[in-house]
Amino acid sequence: MGDFNVALVIVAAVVSVLVLLVSVYLLVNYQHPDDANQAYFPKLVVVLGLTVAVLSILMLPADVANRQACRKAVYNGACDLTLPMRTLWLVVYIVDAVLVFLVIPFAMFYYEGDQDKSVGKRLRTALIWVFASAVVCGLVLGILYGLVGKVDFTVRHLSSTVQTFPNSFSGFSSGQPCFSQLPRVCAASTAPANSQTTWTMRATFPEYVVALTTIVGSVLFTIFGGVGIACLPLGLIFSFIRRPKAVITRSQYIKEATELGKKARELKKAAEALHQEERSGNKGRKWRKNVKALEKELLLLEDDMKALEEMYPQGEQAEATWAFTVLGYIGKLIFGVVGLIVSIAWVAHIVIYLLIDPPLSSFLNEVFIKLDGVWGLLGTAAFAFFCFYLLIAVIAGEMMLGLKLVFITIHPMKWGGTLMNSFLFNVGLILLCSISVIQFCATAFAYYAQATAAQEIFGHTLQSLRGIKYLYKYNVFQYGFVALAILTLFYYAIFGWRKRKPTGRFQLSN
């Protein structure tokens, strides 16, 4: 392959191994006890998906570091070749698309298959569904690529006469930028508007797949990210505001626990009734509606139980438990305030740099450049932090809307209690949105990430694709992101400080 920059290759290898280990750690600690020592294929998909998602986020900072790798080369030829970022980008995102649209759906279909059926029948059913989905996606991609899979670059034809190269440059200035003031000598710098034309070329198929996947992810990213950028820090802050102020009495604990016990028994009866309906084959629209309602009530019941345990800690270390509870809420306040600052910086940067034309300032781009001046990788680390924060905001927004909107399946992530179908769903969402997060960051930090492979793919090819370019030309996703962030801010200002009222008894739909 050539002479790679050794330090950058070593760092990339070490980070990849660490990301893999962290993915395994999250799987082991989040998985449900019922999935222990089984469901190995879904677990493999979860680890692979988490690793690809995290590495895709880290690749943009690595791309920037790769661009800067040769600025201080110690010996000649040290940077003849660095990391092949363009190839890596395409490989990662093709793998991303395959996981999201083929592998994860197959794993979910197989995992959620009827347990009474044999392994062969479950595999056959999952393969049929995935094959049908693959055929439909392939036909759509092929037709779109054949019809509109082209890139339209706007170019300007420039020409001028040739002048003898001067012996001295002392006469050049901003007022006299040319060799001579004779007509047409500097025609290239004063070209008329009619010299502009459109240069059309066909995009490569991998780039087109990445582009369409980015559009799907951008819709979800705009919704979840816009809500999450506000609800992530504000949720932590208002959680501190609504925290239990003191330990309740034993009589209050017994009263509340009795009510929760009644509700738990009622939900158990409802779950048994739904299970009987499932066995009888009555799995219609009403059944699915009741299942979703039951899942939501179970989540709320678990939240009530956790809140009750916080207000009345038990055991020999009750005082220490209460002290850790208080410290936990203080930590939420601190992280919430820090997150609020980052969220405000993000929204302000979008408005100042992306929505106002021409930009008022490069803002965070200049901050990262100055941090690089302090220490070589400090700006890159800050850049990576802002990208990661955006991805976390997307997950926070999905979790919030999943509890508010009935048409979104609730797949909660709980420490030591997450089933593999919930794991797969959330990993698929992270993978789908990670592409859009990178594209969004490459656009928002175009000045800092200039001349990178990501900028070439996401900043030029993607935003010039026929039929898609107008979404980026008119900043549709950016406007939607900011609008949803403002609406979420108003929502929290009005309702965020209120404590949730009891939901009442759960009843099945007739």
Clarify whether residues 282 and 348 are in a common domain.
Answer: no
Say if 508 falls within a structural domain.
no
Clarify whether residues 68 and 93 are in a common domain.
Answer: yes
Number of domains in the chain: 2
Neighbours of 182 (CB within 10 A): 10
Clarify whether residues 15 and 90 are in a common domain.
Answer: yes
pLDDT in tens, 176-201: 555 555 544 455 555 665 666 777 77
Spacing of C-alpha 506 from chain mean position:
34
Clarify whether residues 284 and 139 are in a common domain.
Answer: no
Say if 353 falls within a structural domain.
yes
Clarify whether residues 261 and 354 are in a common domain.
Answer: no
pLDDT in tens, 417-464: 677 777 788 888 888 888 788 878 888 887 877 766 666 666 566 667
Q: Count Cβ atoms within 10 A of the Cβ of residue 365 and give its class: 0-12 exposed, 13-18 middle, 19 or more buried.
A: buried
Domain closes at, from 268, 287, 311: 311
Clarify whether residues 429 and 288 are in a common domain.
Answer: no
Q: Is 123 helix (H, G, I), strand (E, B) or coil?
A: helix
Question: Between the ranges 17-21, 117-121, 448-452, where is the mean pLDDT highest?
Answer: 17-21
Residues 360, 41: Cα–Cα separation, whole Å: 51
Clarify whether residues 51 and 104 are in a common domain.
Answer: yes
Say if 282 falls within a structural domain.
yes
Clarify whether residues 420 and 401 are in a common domain.
Answer: yes
Clarify whether residues 355 and 303 are in a common domain.
Answer: no
Say if 225 falls within a structural domain.
yes
pLDDT score, position 24: 85
Residue 309 sits at the vertex; the CA angle it makes with 336 and 406, to the nearest 5 degrees, is 65
Say if 184 falls within a structural domain.
no
Say if 195 falls within a structural domain.
no
| Overall residue count recorded for the chain in this entry | 510
Q: Say if CB 347 and CB 484 are below 8 A apart.
A: no
Say if 91 falls within a structural domain.
yes
pLDDT in tens, 250-268: 888 888 888 888 888 888 8
Say if 234 falls within a structural domain.
yes
CA nearest neighbour of 8 among 96, 71, 102: 71
Domain closes at, from 311, 338, 359: 311
Structure tokens of 296? 């939501």
Residues 150, 152: Cα–Cα separation, whole Å: 7
Clarify whether residues 335 and 396 are in a common domain.
Answer: yes
> What is the pLDDT confidence band of residue 96, given thresholds at 50, 70 and 90?
confident
Range of the domain at 299: 250-311
CA nearest neighbour of 502 among 274, 232, 303: 303
Domain closes at, from 289, 311, 333: 311
pLDDT score, position 187: 53
CA nearest neighbour of 93 among 8, 202, 12, 212: 212
Clarify whether residues 407 and 434 are in a common domain.
Answer: yes
pTM of the complete model: 0.73
Clarify whether residues 284 and 420 are in a common domain.
Answer: no
Structure tokens of 306? 């956790």
Is the pLDDT at 413 greater than 80? The verdict is: no
pLDDT score, position 344: 92
Spacing of C-alpha 220 from chain mean position:
9
Residue 91 sits at the vertex; the CA angle it makes with 85 and 96, to the nearest 5 degrees, is 125
